[in-house]
Amino acid sequence: MRILIVEDEVKIANAMKRALELQKYAVDVAYDGHVGSDLAIGEKFDLIILDLMLPGIDGVTLCKKIRDEGIHTPVLMLTARGQIADKVIGLDVGADDYMVKPFSFEELFARIRALVRRPVTVQEPVLKIRDLTLDPTAFKVKRDGKTMNLSTKEYALLEYLMRNKNIVLTREQIVSHVWNYDADILPSTVEVHMKHLRDKIDTPFPQQLIRTVRGRGYTIGEE
């Protein structure tokens, strides 16, 4: 899951980034509306957290711009206390939800979980492929009833694969969903993490669920 934070208050932005990274999201931050707009339109995110008052382009204009570009990524608008009328405007221009600052991280996580689940068509909360299960709420992965200890990246990789089961995902798609914009990506990065993931969730078991599709990418499935 990849999240874009557009927030000019550096302390708030960075605190959110850290908290969300601990929750295993890949996070990019833009500190003004112009950079936010470039990233939101040029890159692919699963969620955009958008502050209302921003230098450059304000949150409402930015949200409208994103929607006009045909981007339907869920937008969570942040507003300061007292900007009641603005909240309504935010929802009018296509924001999906709003939160009043200051907020607790618990509230933030809950809103995010609700938003990122919404566009995924009536998907069961726990992802399952044969004896492999991934619980996105608890960040728990089990195979054959045993809990798997995955790193943040291995978990994110597996979640992305499982949410797209039986679909071949290219390295580029994997990088853009699992790593954030600033991350150092070597050509071998995906392979290395994929190997570690397989060593844990596939190799010790009789049936291999992740497949490499030569020249194309990776897929997970029941086949």
Residues that bind Ca ion (CB under 5 A): 8, 51, 53
> In whole angstroms, what is the distance from residue 45 CA to residue 177 CA?
7
Least distance to Ca ion, CB of residue 36, Å: 11
Least Å distance between CB 80 and Ca ion? 7
Enter the DSSP assignment of 169.
Answer: B
Task: Return the number of the residue (65 or 198) whose C-beta is nearest Ca ion.
Answer: 65
Residue with Cβ nearer Ca ion (3 or 77): 77
Of the pair 53, 89, the CB lying nearest Ca ion is at: 53
Find out whether 158 and 141 touch, Cβ atoms under 8 Å: yes
For the CB of residue 52, give the shortest distance to Ca ion in the complex, in Å: 7
Of residues 214, 26, 219, the one with CA closest to residue 129: 219
Nearer to Ca ion, 39 or 201 (CB): 39
Burial (CB count <10 Å: 0-12, 13-18, 19+), residue 48? buried
Which residue number places its CB atom closest to Ca ion? 53
The residues near 166 (Cβ < 8 Å, ≥ 6 apart) are 219, 220, 221, 222, 223
H, E, C per residue of 148-165: ECCCHHHHHHHHHHHHCC
Helical packing angle, 33-42 and 59-68, nearest 10°: 20
Q: Considering beta carbons, is residue 36 or 74 the nearer one to Ca ion?
A: 36
